[in-house]
Amino acid sequence: MKWTASCFVDAAILALTAASIAGCSTTVPYQVRTGVVHAPTLQQMENANMERGAPVLIRIYKEGRSLEVWKQNRTGKFTLLQSYPICKFSGKLGPKIAQGDYQAPEGFYDITPAQMNPQSSEYLSFNIGFPNAFDRSLGRTGSFLMVHGGCRSVGCYAMTDYQMEEIYGLVEEAFRGGQDRVQLQAFPFQMTAENLTRYAEDPNAAFWEMLKTGSDTFSAAGVPPKVAVCNQRYVFNPPFGSTDLDPSVSCPSGIDPTPISHARL
C-alpha cells in the first residue's frame, strides 16, 4: 500500500484505495523522488566541520514558523545547519489532542527510514510519528501527521517543494550514513523563560514547561536527549540509561514522579 501525505486519512478509505490499486494494473504509480541537498548547504557543512552523512536533528517552532535542521559536526556536537520558513501549518499553539482537530503536533518524535515517503502525493514527505508513547498514554488520536511539500496543511507541517527536497535529502543522507532514527522536536515557540512567562496563563503552560526541559537538555549537552515516558510525562536522559519505561505507571526511583497538569484531556 502506498500511503500519501494526507494528514487525516480514514483507515477504511485507505483500505479501499489499496485494494483498488492492487486490482488495477493500469493504475499509474506516484513518481518516486529522492531528496537533493543544494550546493550552498553542502558548503555550509564544510564550513561547519560536518561530514555529509553525519546524523541530523529537526526542530520546529510554530511561533516564528521555522523548521531547523541541526547536524552533528566532527567534534560530536549538533549545531544549526539550516533554518527554513514553514510555508503552512494548521491549528494554533498547543498539542494535537484528537483526530480531526486540525492541530499540528508538539512534542518529541522519532523518524525512521520506514517513515520516509518518496512516493508522496505532496511531492515528498515523512511521517512525524504521532501519536508517540506520551500521546498514546493520554488517549490522543490522529494518523499520518507529516512534514511534506505542497504548502497546504490540515494538521501537518507543510513546506515548499524546493525546501522539502533539501530537508528530505538531509534526512535521507543521514540514514545512509548510519543514523537509525532522527529526533524531531516540535515546539510552540522558542523555549525561553521569557516566552513561558508570556504564556503562563495558557492551559498548556505546564506541558510547555516540560517541553522546555527537553529543549534545555539538548542545548546543554549538544546532542539529542534520550526520551522516555512514565507517569504520563516525558523524561529526558533517564539516570539508569534505559528508555524502556511504562508510560502509564509511576516513574522509577530517581525520576521525578510528579505528573504535569495536562490541558484538555
Beta bridge partners of 78: 72
Residue type, 180: D
Assigned C-alpha cell, 19: 485494494
CA distances from 7 to 27, 34, 70, 74 (A): 23, 21, 25, 37
Residue type, 140: R
Among the options 87, 148, 230, 251, which is catalytic? 148
Beta bridge partners of 69: 58, 82
Residue closest to 121 by CA, chosen among 98, 152, 155, 90? 152
Please report the sign of the dihedral spanned by the C-alpha atoms of residue 237, residue 242, residue 247, residue 250.
negative
Assigned C-alpha cell, 124: 515528498
Among the options 7, 87, 156, 230, which is catalytic? 156
Please report the sign of the dihedral spanned by the C-alpha atoms of residue 89, residue 90, residue 91, residue 96.
negative
Number of H helices, E strands in the chain: 6, 12
Rounded to whole angstroms, the Cα distance separating 229 from 262 reads 14
Residue 24 known to be catalytic: no
Rounded to whole angstroms, the Cα distance separating 7 from 120 reads 12
Rounded to whole angstroms, the Cα distance separating 143 from 10 reads 9
Residue 87 known to be catalytic: no
Which residues carry out catalysis? 148, 156
